[in-house]
Amino acid sequence: MEADFVIVGAGSAGCAMAYRLSEAGASVLVIEHGGSDAGPFIRMPGALSYPMNMRAYDWGYQSEPEPHLGGRRLVTPRGKVIGGSSSINGMVYVRGHACDFDTWATMGADGWAYGDVLPYFKRMESWHDGGHGGDPDWRGYDGPLHVTRGKRDNPLTRAFVEAGHQAGYPVTDDYNGPQQEGFGPMEATIWQGRRWSAAEAYLKPALKRPNCELIRAHAQRVVISDGRAIGVEVLRGGTTQVITARREVILAASSINSPKLLMLSGIGPGAHLAEHGIEVIADRAGVGQNLQDHLELYLQMAATQPVSLFKYWNLFGKARVGAQWLLTKTGPGASNQFESAGFIRSRAGVKYPDIQYHFLPIAVRYDGKAAAEGHGFQAHVGPMRSKSRGAVTLASSDPGAAPKIRFNYMSHDDDWRDFRTCLRLTREIFAQEAFKPYTGHEIQPGIAAQSDAELDDFIREHAESAFHPCGTARMGRADDPMAVVDPEARVIGVERLRLADSSVFPQITNGNLNAPSIMVGEKAADHILGRAPLPPENAEPWINPNWATSQR
């Protein structure tokens, strides 16, 4: 049981690295605790609310009681299946804003500015614009990851973009291209009517090579000898084994499980490890700290016409959609239904968007419960750059125990101001002429909630995670006491050990995290192989020329 490289976690970044390292001729062993991604709940885009609520595919984590959200525990789904969270997510594809990556570089992630990472986004993509325009110079065409756009044939999806335009915001034909700011079509990792996860794009092709193998096992800790990682101790079929890495061990187990594994292996805040009787191998204060996420709310409206997806929200309708998808891979089941998007700035003086919209032509919750009132639509909205920071810590030294996850949501005053702004700006968009033929009353929060205090009560009770945890093993310069990995994804203080997944993000990116997580795996693979990174591109993103003085 040995290979050149042992990767822990067959998620978004792990699959990408397995593909690139095996493509280069190295032998690769991928350790994954979860099982197969077969079955319609994962494969069918329209069924996305199911897998993240199924214990078969999810680690089943939840946060500690959140003090600023009335003591609520929030679910924290992480994919326990091949493909990881790319097999249970909403399939939305957002690279992030160019300024996000430039910020990473200024925070010490040298070589990770937008010009450096753009070639990797292009290398991973097979972009299908569906004839909707966009700048082809910014996109990739022959990568493993298919990126498509929904048909947007529901009139509500078009009304949302038009309403954004009427409210004075720009329209963008490609938020993953030069201009993120504005309203336009949303992109998804869907191909030929099926979810196109990291397992489909990267892992399955890699496993066809003789030098790549997948092992079902639960990683317990990294085995470290004389300051060097030599393998991974796993629990497999009830017995403990060590899988040996001839060259390097690579952790890609998620922003929750990667820091947990580091701490179980003796890498982390020394006093915290000592509390749990774990011998300290590398005292790294930043392990598990800097936890960030996106919170969001749904602003729901009743519809006066039967144009929403509610008509399928009964046993017969769901059966019909399911049958059509099974037979033809078409129909409502072939879309995640997030087909229109928006990225706007909350106020003058904000340089690039800090609010994201997902528009959905039905009023429904993530757990699949539809609004009882019937036809409706909703916008998911939330601030992109919360100042709140949390932590992942050990509950015990038992590898089978869930870690403690404390997001500390809404612990900064600015978050409350930004969330109230989100709600008020959304109401203004829904009040535009484009929605006049469809708009009934406001279901949630309800038009009675107007004052700051009333909106704060609604936020406290209803804000939900957008499931974008990251930042718990921050990338930075080797002399930064809070950095966990250096800009080549090497764990600082231990040789032959790397970590590459959303844990390494110094700051959360604008939008959904799947695309940048895969990009991290793509770029880390070149560092691991000792290759020169792809040459940087001198691409100038669009920044609103009036950003300093106007909100739109």
Q: How many CA atoms lie within 13 A of 69 on its CB side?
A: 23
Burial per residue of 517-547, b for 16 or more beta-carbon CB atoms within 10 angstroms, e otherwise? bbbbbbbbbbbbbeeeebeeeeeebeebeeb
Task: Indicate the pairing of strand 497-499 with strand 239-251.
Answer: parallel
Give the Cα separation of 230 and 208 in Å (integer). Answer: 26
DSSP reduced 3-state for 214:
strand
Helix, strand, coil percentages (3-state) for the chain, rounded to 5, are: 30, 25, 45
**Is the bond preceding 481 in cis, omega lying within 30 degrees of 0?**
no
Task: Indicate the pairing of strand 267-268 with strand 282-283.
Answer: parallel
CA distances in angstroms from 503 to 16, 20, 263, 521, listed in the order given: 16, 20, 14, 12
Cross-strand partners of 81? 35
Tell me whether residue 375 is one of the annotated catalytic residues. Answer: no
Amino acid at 434: A
90 is in an annotated binding site: yes
CA distances in angstroms from 135 to 110, 175, 449, 541, 545, listed in the order given: 27, 10, 42, 12, 20
91 is in an annotated binding site: yes
161 is in an annotated binding site: no
DSSP reduced 3-state for 535:
coil
Long-range own/partner contacts, residues 266-274 (CB < 8 A, 24 or more apart): 266/221, 266/224, 267/222, 267/491, 267/493, 267/494, 272/393, 272/394, 273/394
89 is in an annotated binding site: yes
Q: Token pair of 477, please?
A: 């310069």
Q: How many CB atoms lie within 10 A of CB 312?
A: 19
Give the Cα separation of 505 and 493 in Å (integer). Answer: 19
Please pick, among 33, 68, 375, 468, the residue that the annotation labels catalytic.
468
Length of the chain: 552
CA distances in angstroms from 120 to 117, 523, 535, listed in the order given: 5, 6, 10
Cross-strand partners of 268? 283
**Helix locations, 125-246, DSSP H:** 155-166, 198, 204-207
521 is in an annotated binding site: no
Give the Cα separation of 71 and 73 in Å (integer). Answer: 7
Listed residue (447, 300, 302, 449) closest to 373, CA to CA: 302
Q: Which residues are annotated as a binding site for FAD?
A: 81, 89-92
Q: Which residues are catalytic?
A: 468
